[in-house]
């Protein structure tokens, strides 16, 4: 495996962990900022309690998945370091596309003098959110099946 064009030994888990946490963390932060700006522009609920509750539910969901899949089901023993590091990126790509398209839909509706209110204003974003969730779930289930496969243990690092 290479990192910034240099070979990285799989035993250097600290460097890989730092790179992943920084890279994935920046993507997550930027996506969160875009989601907040979209909610603001579309007149959504910006109450801190709403955002805190959404963040808590998301964190609990991911921690639950980590515990059940990585620890209880033993994925940590079957999945190589490089595979584990790259697994979230297809789902992040789906999130990235959904954020960009959703932001475009929100910007298109901002500043219009249209008197419509209600579901017709947010329907495209809700549809996009639903599609993103379905694709995300499908990718998550695919990751679980792939991690459970015996061939995953021989995945090159």
Name the β-bridge partners of 6. 3
pLDDT, tens digit only, all 157 positions of the chain: 666 677 766 566 677 778 888 888 898 888 888 878 877 777 776 788 888 898 899 889 889 988 988 888 888 888 777 777 777 888 788 888 888 887 777 777 766 655 555 566 666 767 777 887 888 888 888 877 877 776 544 444 4
Length of the chain: 157
Pairwise CA distance, residues 37 & 1, whole Å: 37
* Domain boundaries of the chain, sorted by first residue: 2-154
Pairwise CA distance, residues 25 & 61, whole Å: 17
Q: What is the pTM of this model?
A: 0.60
User: Which position has the token pair 């035993």?
Assistant: 11
- DSSP character for 72? I
Name the β-bridge partners of 3. 6
Pairwise CA distance, residues 114 & 120, whole Å: 11
Pairwise CA distance, residues 133 & 147, whole Å: 21
Is-contact 147 79, C-beta < 8 A?
A: yes
């Amino acid at each position: 495996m290479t990192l910034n064009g240099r070979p990285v030994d799989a035993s250097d888990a600290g460097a890989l962990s730092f790179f992943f946490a920084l890279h994935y963390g920046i993507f997550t932060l930027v996506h969160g900022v875009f989601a907040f700006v979209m909610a603001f522009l579309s007149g959504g609920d910006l109450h801190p309690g709403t955002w805190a509750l959404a963040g808590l539910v998301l964190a609990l969901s991911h921690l639950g998945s980590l515990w059940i899949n990585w620890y209880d089901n033993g994925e940590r023993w079957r999945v190589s370091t490089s595979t584990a590091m790259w697994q979230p990126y297809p789902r992040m790509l789906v999130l990235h596309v959904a954020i960009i398209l959703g932001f475009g839909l929100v910007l298109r509706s901002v500043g219009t003098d249209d008197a419509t209110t209600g579901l017709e204003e947010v329907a495209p974003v809700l549809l996009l959110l639903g599609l993103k969730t379905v694709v995300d779930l499908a990718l998550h289930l695919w990751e679980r099946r792939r991690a459970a496969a015996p061939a995953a243990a021989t995945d090159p690092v």
